Each structure stands twice: as C-alpha cells, then as structure tokens.
C-alpha cells in the first residue's frame, strides 16, 4: 500500500518536515512498517496517510516511531510506527424507527 508521511514533532534542531511517499512493508491493527529515505528516531511523531489502490484511505492520523533499521542496501530505513489515533470507523447503520402504537377508534 502507498504511504504519505512527514515528521511533525522531533527534538532535533534541523529535520526534514516535508511530505514523502513510500510503500508499506507490513501492517497490523496497531501500526505498520514502511521504507523511509531518512532515519527517524524513536518517539518522533509522524503524520501519516495510508492509501490502498490510490483511492481507499486506510488510515490518516498521527503515529509514533518505535524503531528504524538501516537496510543492507544502505539507501532506506525500515521504520516501525504505532498508530496514535484509532482509524475512523465505518459509518454505523441507522436504527430503524420504532413503530408507534396507535389506538384504533
């Protein structure tokens, strides 16, 4: 799946806070891993948008970095994040209106 991400909160003085595009490696209900061009530090806050097939929004919100591992190729970092906010729920079905008891005269 595609992921757009940017750094929101960090203790570093200079950091790239521009939007970036990548792909997810793995995803669960609590978080995901993805490939990043830059190394993120543990506990940094990212703004993330995960999209399936270019049209279906899976998750949009803040995420906390859990770890970042430099890959053997040296070009990317496999970054693990946890969701800070729960994904929005599907709209609930409307309850059917109750029938009113009407007395016949």
Residue 67 pLDDT greater than 90, yes or no: yes
The C-alpha atoms of residue 17 and residue 13 are separated, in whole angstroms, by: 12
CATH superfamily of the 2-83 domain:
predicted glycosyltransferase like domains (2.40.10.220)
Chain center to CA of 71: 22
The predicted-structure confidence for 83-104, as pLDDT tens digits, reads as follows 997 655 444 545 555 566 666 6
DSSP string, 3-60: EEEEEEE-S-SS---S-EEEEEEEE-SSEEEEEESSPPPTT-EEEEEEEETTTEEEEE
Query: What pLDDT, on the 0 to 100 scale, is given for residue 102?
Result: 65
Which pLDDT belongs to residue 93? 47
- As beta bridge partners, residue 61 has 48
What pTM was computed for the model?
0.74
Question: How sure is the predictor about 71, in pLDDT bands with cuts at 50, 70 and 90?
Answer: confident
Q: Where are the domains of the chain?
A: 2-83
Local confidence band at 14 (pLDDT 50, 70, 90 cut-offs):
confident
What mean pLDDT, rounded, does the chain reach? 84
The rounded distance, in Å, linking the Cα atoms of 81 and 27 is 10
Distance CA 86, CA 97 (A): 30
Instruction: Please tell me the distance from the alpha carbon of residue 60 to that of residue 33, in angstroms, as a whole number.
Output: 15
For residue 16, pLDDT beyond 70: yes
């Amino acid at each position: 799946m595609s992921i757009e991400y940017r750094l929101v909160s960090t203790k570093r003085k200079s950091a790239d806070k521009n939007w970036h595009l990548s792909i997810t490696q793995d995803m669960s209900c609590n978080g995901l891993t993805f490939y990043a061009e830059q190394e993120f530090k543990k506990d940094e806050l990212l703004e993330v948008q995960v999209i399936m097939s270019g049209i279906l929004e899976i998750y949009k919100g803040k995420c906390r970095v859990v770890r970042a591992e430099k890959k053997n190729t040296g070009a990317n970092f496999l970054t693990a994040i946890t969701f800070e906010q729960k994904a929005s729920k599907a709209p609930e079905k409307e309850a059917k209106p109750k029938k009113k008891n009407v007395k016949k005269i």
